[in-house]
Amino acid sequence: EIDVPESHPRYQSLLTRHRIEDGVDRGITTRQGLIAEGRGEAFDYLLGERTISSSDDAARVAAALLLLAERPAISVNGNVAALVPAETVDLAAAVNADVEVNLFNRTDDRMRSIVAHLREHGTDEAGVAVRGLDADARIPGLDHERATVDADGIGNADVVVVPLEDGDRAAALAAMGKAEVVIDLNPLSRSAQAATVPIIDNVVRAVPNITGHARDLSGASRAELEATVRGFDADGALGAAEDAIRSGELG
Ligand code: PTJ
């Protein structure tokens, strides 16, 4: 895919950059998305580019919450589509969720390109519904384009996974009474703080990690899943991530 040996110390990070660049070239990711990636990388560097144990715990809780959900949805923006298209489809299949293209900078062209991109990554084969084009519902309290969702998708979902979300929309979804799993590398971001389950990790690691936990928990009873969710301390998870960053122990 890229001409960098796997032994290169920054191999993963270079691969991730390449995917984002490619997303921009294909009209999937915005130039704003490049800036968001840069911000994310800075936090990832400080976290040691690894999944810290509190974030692994949060990923397991997220898996339990998704398995308990009646109508789970996974929100996909231009960065997520570029970075983890196949992994997002795998997660949706593992927890029986819909995926919904939901953009901060919504245009018809980008909506269609991202839906097509997800289909190319096997949604039909996996039996996963791709939503976002109906645009027949609104998130209250946001301006026109950012508020647009599908009634049968995020509109009526009880649990929503929002990777790399902006703070306003994360807060507005939480205000609708939805449980939110937020994946964000910045523990101080408003979206992480609005989350029922914040996962402070790179989306590249977090999405397959939730899927792994979901497979592991697939035989668990409802009571076990509920106990896993109940025992979770969101503020504790945010604090642990901030401590990891401040401690300066790079991986
Ligand atoms: O495709 P669109 O139009 O929906 O736009 C998507 C972006 C991401 C451009 C838009 O939502 C945006 O501008 O987001 P922000 O406000 O820049 O927030 C992005 C957040 O994601 C920041 O808190 C970053 O730390 C975080 N982030 C960036 N890259 C990653 C990440 N978190 C996890 N994994 C990453 N790879």
Q: What is the complex's ipTM, to 2 decimals?
A: 0.98
Q: What is the mean pLDDT of the segment spanning 230-236?
A: 97
User: In the structure, what pLDDT confidence band is assigned to residue 1 with cuts at 50, 70 and 90?
Assistant: low
Tens digits of per-residue pLDDT, 240-251?
Answer: 999 999 997 765
Residue 82 Cα to ligand 1 midpoint, Å, equals 12
Residue to substitute in 79, 80, 118 for testing ligand 1 pocket (most ligand atoms within 8 angstroms of CB): 79
| Residues 35-71: tens digit of each pLDDT | 999 999 999 999 999 999 999 999 999 999 999 999 9
Q: Is 51 in the pocket of ligand 1 (CB under 6 A)?
A: no
> Looking at the predicted structure, is the pLDDT value of residue 33 above 90?
yes
Fold of 53-247: Rossmann fold (3.40.50)
pLDDT, residue 250, reads 65
Residue 217 backbone phi and psi in degrees, to 5: -90, 5
Output the six-digit token pair for 237: 């998870």
Per-residue pLDDT for 237 more than 90?
yes
Ligand 1 geometric centre to CA of 227 (Å)? 31
DSSP string computed for the chain: --SS-TTSTTHHHHHHHHHHHHHHHTTSS-HHHHHHHHHHHHHHHHTTSS--HHHHHHHHHHHHHHHH-SSEEEEE-HHHHHH-HHHHHHHHHHHT-EEEE--SS--HHHHHHHHHHHHHTTHHHHT--EE-SS--EE-TTS-HHHHEE-TTTGGG-SEEEEET--HHHHHHHHHTT-EEEEE-S-TTSHHHHH-SEEE-S-HHHHHHHHHHHHHHTTT--HHHHHHHHHT--HHHHHHHHHHHHHHT---
**Predicted confidence (pLDDT) at residue 182 exceeds the cutoff of 60:** yes
Amino acid letter, 143 = D
Q: Which of 4-8, 72-76, 169-173 holds the top average pLDDT?
A: 72-76
For the chain, give every domain's residue range: 53-247
